[in-house]
Structure 1
Amino acid sequence: MNNSTIDNVNLTVNPKKMKKNKEEKITVGSVISKIVLLFFMFYTLLPIVWLFISSLKTNAELIAKPFGLPKIPQFQNYINAFQVSGLGTLFVNSVIVSLCATVLNIMIASMASYVIARFEFKFKEGIFVAITAGILVPICSLMVPYFMVIKTLGLYDSKAALILTYSAVSLPISTFIIRGFMNTIPRELEEAGVIDGCNFYQRFYKIIFPLSRSGIVTAATFQFLYCWNEFIYAMLLTSSQSNRTMQVGIRYFSNQFTTDYTSMYAAIIISIIPSMIGYVLLQEQIISGLTNGAVKG
């Protein structure tokens, strides 16, 4: 075999080897990525699965075999969760506070974002920085100021105290998210609205607000989840069961001498169901909102 024949053979063989090596690399990379994803899925779901299984045990079974399965599922624990702590009233309180605080927060944040994003005025960027700087402030550091303000207004131990506090605490992050989306809306749409006779409020409610839906849904979801899971201010600003939320009610299963762990776990499972359902229903909107904000914001 002469040299030219050998070269021709190499030319025909080498590309196949290169393609095969590339496919092997892709396969190995995909396998590794799937293993990593499975690990994080297991790491995330394991506590929830363990919590659910534990909520179906007796306290004796939980202490004796914390990682074993229950001999007989104790659904009575879920009934106890409602009877012992009055979970029904606390659940309704959480729904009212979370929904009202979310609506109030989104309305204020969207109006502030509209002015900052669409109008030019002195110190505009400074005002935006001052608002969003609240993201860096630890929530615990504001406990005394919020308590004094609520106490002075005569709103202590009321749902209004929690609604106003939750709305104010999350304003920086909501404004930051919504303003990023409003910046991407073409100004020509507003100009067309002006030509059609839209005033300031009509331009906001009929043009800008609907077009910022992805950012608004993302901010509203974060706000609702924060309100639903918040414990510190719910404990600080309320004292009666008629105004407290679910997260505070969970501690009712523990007293000075004993703790009803299984009923408490059942209450925790009940408390996380609404947030999980909300995220599942709005998952596509949240992901698209975050990715659009990352690219365009």
Structure 2
Amino acid sequence: MSKKVKDQEMSFKFIWTPKNVVMNILKWILIVFFAVYTLFPLIWLVITSLKTNAEYFANPFSLPAVPQWQNFTNAFTQANLGQMIWNSVTVAFVGTILNVVVASMASYAISRFRFRGREIIFAAFSAGIMVPLNALMVPYFTIFSKIGLIDNLMSLRILYASIGLPISMFIIRGFMDAFPVEIEEAAIIDGCGFYGRFFRMILPLVKSGLVTAGTFQFITCWNEFVYANLLTSSPKLKTIQIGIRYFTNQFTTDYVSMYAAIVIAIIPSILIYAIFQKNVITGLTAGAVKG
């Protein structure tokens, strides 16, 4: 091993001084605190979903005497979660695909073409990130009422694809701006057409950006509650997030079955992020290091 490598290893070794020990202890206390703060509600939710209602009311923080797996069966039978999950899947996938397709085309136009007002257009789209979605409930409801899409899943698909455009364009355009123009110019010289450059060159090279935008969009579509409750009224058109409240009525609440439904509802979001975690991290950190 060379002397330079040994010197580099020595530089990363922990030096036992009182100040460093205190700072290291504080660092780990902070890490453990945020880990517990983040994971405890999820762990408590899973444990509680395996209790009986009597155990839950007797001691909310105790372990179940016997795991009640039938709570998950009850969650499906009482609220028709199967149909609601299917509605959420179709809405989330269609909304995500529409969003990524439109955002990628718009980002390419703004990134590559030089025309008057392009930065103003991009700034107008980006400003949508800062607009509270609940502030637009009345305009959205009025628009979908006029075009006859109230109580129709297509309204949710269109709406979710639209409200996710600002963040998706912001992410994807950053990748396209980092893509060297010279490569595209070389493709033009070789006779590659517009659609060939876009579909066979640009999209594969900005795949991390597309996956990042698509992951955030899917999670947003899956977890959205307000507009799903506003624009749909038929039980057969409700999404999974709406189904969770069906365990509460005027007189009683089946808490453990409701918690089981919540566990079922959050599993797809966790799986999607776990599958595409590497791409998401790459997408968020792209451009952080130059050179």
Matches of 1:58 and 1:150 in 2, distance apart? 43
**How far apart are residue 35 of structure 1 and its match?**
2.7
- CA offsets 1:180-211 (integer angstroms, 9 cap, x no match): 11000000111111112111121111111111
Matches of 1:249 and 1:41 in 2, distance apart? 30
The amino acid of 1:174's aligned partner reads S
Distance 1:123 1:164, change over 3 A: same
**How far apart are residue 33 of structure 1 and its match?**
2.5
- CA offsets 1:19-76 (integer angstroms, 9 cap, x no match): 9994435555444323322211111110011011111111111111011111111111
Distance 1:30 1:211, change over 3 A: farther
Per the alignment, residue 5 of structure 1 pairs with none
- CA offsets 1:65-115 (integer angstroms, 9 cap, x no match): 011111111111101000000000001111110010000000000100001
Whether 2:196 is the aligned partner of 1:191: answer: no
- TM-align CA RMSD: 1.7
- CA offsets 1:100-148 (integer angstroms, 9 cap, x no match): 0000000000100001111110011111101111111100011111111
Report 1:52-71 matches (<5 A): 52-71=46-65
**How far apart are residue 177 of structure 1 and its match?**
0.8
Could you state the TM-score of these two structures normalised by the residue count of structure 2?
0.91
Q: 2:256 aligns with which of 232, 256, 262?
A: 262
Unaligned 5+ segments in structure 2 are 1-11
Could you state the TM-score of these two structures normalised by the residue count of structure 1?
0.90
Per the alignment, residue 164 of structure 1 pairs with 158
Distance 1:167 1:33, change over 3 A: same
The amino acid of 1:244's aligned partner reads K
Whether 2:235 is the aligned partner of 1:241: answer: yes
Matches of 2:14 and 2:54 in 1, distance apart? 57
Matches of 1:258 and 1:45 in 2, distance apart? 29
Distance 1:34 1:258, change over 3 A: same
Whether 2:119 is the aligned partner of 1:137: answer: no
- CA offsets 1:218-261 (integer angstroms, 9 cap, x no match): 11111000000000000001011221110000010001111110
Q: 1:179 aligns with which of 173, 178, 190?
A: 173
Unaligned 5+ segments in structure 1 are 1-18
Report 1:88-237 matches (<5 A): 88-237=82-231
Q: Is the 8 A contact 1:54 1:265 kept in 2?
A: yes
Q: Which aligned runs of 4 or more in structure 1 are off by greater than 3 angstroms?
A: 19-32, 293-296
Per the alignment, residue 281 of structure 2 pairs with 287
Matches of 1:50 and 1:34 in 2, distance apart? 23
Per the alignment, residue 77 of structure 2 pairs with 83
Matches of 2:101 and 2:162 in 1, distance apart? 12
Distance 1:209 1:20, change over 3 A: closer
**How far apart are residue 273 of structure 1 and its match?**
0.5
Per the alignment, residue 29 of structure 2 pairs with 35
The amino acid of 2:74's aligned partner reads N
Counting aligned pairs with the same residue, the percent is 55
Q: Report how many residues are paired.
A: 278
Distance 1:21 1:224, change over 3 A: closer
Q: Is the 8 A contact 1:114 1:182 kept in 2?
A: yes
